[in-house]
Amino acid sequence: MVKVRDLGLGFNSDEIVLFKYCSGSCHRARSNYDLTLGSLLRQQLIVPGPQERVLSHPCCRPTRYEAVSFMDVENTWQTVEKLSAAECSCIG
């Protein structure tokens, strides 16, 4: 449960909404690509640049989203599409 104004989307509302998110480990879903990339990174045969972040494992990310509706301080209903995670899966 979070305040709408804390979402960082610029809405002025005192309402509290349910923000669902994905988390968790995806190590069981590792592919040959993930295993090879991890090995090459450990051996420093691939060295990411200073602004790069290379992950050698899949990430738990939303695969389906839900819209969230709330009333702002002007008593106007607002709906934000694709805000809250509805389903999660290992991606990558």
SS3 79: strand
60 falls within a domain? yes
Boundaries of domain holding 79: 1-28+55-89
Q: Is residue 92 predicted with pLDDT exceeding 80?
A: no
Q: Report percent pLDDT > 70 for the chain.
A: 100
Do the Cβ atoms of 92 and 25 come closer than 8 Å?
Answer: no
User: What's the rounded mean pLDDT across residues 57-85?
Assistant: 94
How far is the C-alpha of 81 from the C-alpha of 18, rounded, in Å? 14
pLDDT exceeds 80 at position 57: no
**17 pLDDT exceeds 90?**
yes
Residue 12 in any domain: the answer is yes
Whether 49 is in a domain gets the answer no
Domain-embedded: residue 35:
no
- Confirm whether 70 is domain-assigned: yes
Query: What pLDDT is attached to residue 14?
Result: 92
Region 12-28 average pLDDT = 91
- pLDDT higher than threshold 80 for residue 50: yes
Total number of domains in the chain: 1
* pTM across the whole model: 0.71
